[in-house]
Chains A and B, each alone.
Chain A
């Protein structure tokens, strides 16, 4: 294999039709080990774990519907999905970027500890569950549409932005239990939400100067990925959800 060195900007095309996930991921590892920087995978129908164990900033474009745990434990690659993602996308990812042109299934970004995920449409249940941060490792999840229940559940860190672009004027999100168990990180939420839809660990505040800087940066990236006008998005009204206690059970065993 080594004698066929691949040009840096050459796109390697892989036909995943009928290929099991183990073999597909082995082929990806092989391609990346050979210095490939851009990969296009065709006919993806549910193969799991794409993007895991590559450890290099390779760009992978997926045509089709990738399987569960897309980008699990991912450390560096950039994944573009021309379609919808299934459940567990970005599971415990450490570094890299996932850009989804359709919707994401349940638990997108679960336990992420770094990297960025952009979802153009909606997200399923428990988006951003238990995202966390440490030092300069801070995961970012931006969802263009709305999300289902338990958004940001047990969130321990990172930035979760829900834009609500497909909600009509003054409509509210339908998600309940938003931020249940949240004890770190921040959620910026465009579109309405009522108090009863929030977990009891969540406080609501207006955005401050520094919040707008953060929002501007990531809405800008979202808009450039999907061809939106960032200024138009930022003109919508946003609120900030934050954890009221950082250690809600700190004294649970202390009597």
Chain B
């Protein structure tokens, strides 16, 4: 048969190439708010994605079960569910479980079953092991050992909702306008060289750490091999997964502050380091040497969150966009300023951070723009 593309579109330029959309909103006073605004904001960047992935992370979500680990698990088969539920009963105290409520949504096709479990570790762990470590091990065990089941959310008083579709469709499907949280992140996906499937949508999550990402992590292979030494196994077929495990390792286990973590993931160039004061040089050199395998290469913007903190930063030469907006106690991070203005037209300040510089929203601490001579309004 004749290939009419040659006639109708000789340049084959009908494939729309775009980028992911990121959005984050946090009330630093801890006040919980509905997702209605965040959903409108991420939907406003509809054309950055292509409908192959959308998702949300919400913090302050399950106050009635705040002390339990909230597992969100997607099942691709009935067998997968029965095997994993048996495993959960053996390994945890099951406080409560239910199917995550959904509504029929045009555009959401062939969804997996998504259930949530509120779990406590109780006496199941070894004495010397922390509860968090125990949970991470069990998540890795389910995701690598059990077929057709993926734990995609495992923190306390927070959760991830995600799937294949546009983010506004995922929000409608999971009825997200009915939930409240003090910190929301959101993602619209444009998968480039990995499949668009339910598990591959963002955010990626381990414990209460979540990551949404725009870009391509070309260092995925070396990052993944390094993280495997610490028991993290990548199962979601997507580069972003390594960022979630890297921040869990660096921030939770190695107890490094985000200011230092940003210098590891988006390390300054050697030439920059040489111009810094000698004490700082020593620190930056040490970080680059010790954690060289966690340097993220390639273009990226990420929004990382955990309880009490939302952090946005880009690669050091900013090959992907990030805009910051502040209004009283609200901090917004977004791929595009227009999405912020849509839900908060009268921002106190809006600015574009420097590449590699983390923008940090912390409970109880206002985020302020950089000093004179940086991009702002």
Contacts and interface: CB of A to CB of B under 8 A. Distances in A.
B339 to A, nearest CB: 6
Interface string A163-190: 0101110010110110000000000000
Interface stretch (A24-32, A121-129, A211-219, A220-228): A121-129
Given A21-B47, A45-B44, A124-B352, A65 B338 contact: yes
A35 interface: no
Interface string B309-323: 000000001100101
B341 A103 contact: no
Q: Chain B contact residues (Cβ within 8 angstroms of A): what range?
A: 20 to 34
A105 B314 CA distance: 14
Main secondary structure of the interface of B (DSSP, over half): loop
Given A103-B352, A105-B321, A149-B355, A166 B336 contact: no
A44 B341 CA distance: 10
A177 B317 CA distance: 10
Contacts of A176: 272
Interface stretch (B187-195, B259-267, B278-286, B368-376): B368-376
Interface string A193-204: 000100000000
A185 to B, nearest CB: 22
B336 A196 contact: no
B34 interface: no
A8 B272 CA distance: 56
A122 to B, nearest CB: 4
A149 B354 CA distance: 9
Given A46-B45, A174-B374, A68 B352 contact: no
Contact of B338 (A45, A148, A166): A45
B337 interface: yes
Contacts of A171: 372-373
Contacts of A45: 44, 338-339, 341-342
Given A106-B321, A125-B318, A68 B374 contact: no
A107 to B, nearest CB: 10
Question: Considering residues B275, B337, B375, which has the most beta carbons from chain A within 10 angstroms of its beta carbon?
Answer: B375
B375 A145 contact: yes
Nearest to B275: A196
Contact of A150 (B271, B317, B373): B317
B342 A167 contact: no
Interface of B: 44-45, 47, 271-272, 275, 317-318, 321, 323, 336-339, 341-342, 350-352, 354-355, 372-377
- Closest 5 interchain pairs by CB? A46-B338, A122-B375, A65-B338, A45-B342, A45-B338
Given A84-B337, A171-B372, 10 more contacts: A45-B44, A65-B338, A86-B338, A103-B376, A103-B377, A122-B352, A146-B374, A148-B352, A148-B355, A149-B354
